[in-house]
Amino acid sequence: MKIRVYYEDTDAAGIVYYANYLKFCERARSEAFFSRGLSPQSDDGYFVVKRLEAEYLKPAGLGELLDVNSELLEKKAASITLLQSVSRDGEKLFEMRVKLAFLKEGRPVRIPASLYSIISEW
């Protein structure tokens, strides 16, 4: 997934604000649903972020075109762990290991088989 850095993503330090890399990663996760005409929130349930570990390697600047890559690290019955990174021209700028729980009405439930194809695309 390609992401352009716009003014809204930067701050007075002239670079991408640190919280916005999390937005970029969420866009990539959601786009796997949207591009299929699906929603991340369905009657089956929805994913919520439980934990993340992020490393900031290099800053990104205004107008740059970034790549977001996602890799499934671990799949459990009711949660998954992804490795997501943001790169520029093949150089990694940001990397995040994020654990997502699958919930229905606020409680952890088994991830339905129908979501496997989407998750595996991550």
Per CB under 8 A, which of residues 16..35 are in contact with its own copies? 17-20, 22-23, 26-27, 30-31, 33-34
| 75 belongs to the binding site for its own copies (CB under 8 A) | no
| 55 belongs to the binding site for its own copies (CB under 8 A) | yes
Can you read off the two tokens belonging to residue 85? Answer: 């990174």
Under 8 Å CB-to-CB from 54, ≥6 apart: which residues?
A: 21, 22, 94, 95, 96, 97
Round to whole Å and give the CA distance between 111 and 96.
22
Residue 60 Cβ, how far from its own copies at the closest point, in Å?
A: 11
Nearer to its own copies, 34 or 116 (CB): 34
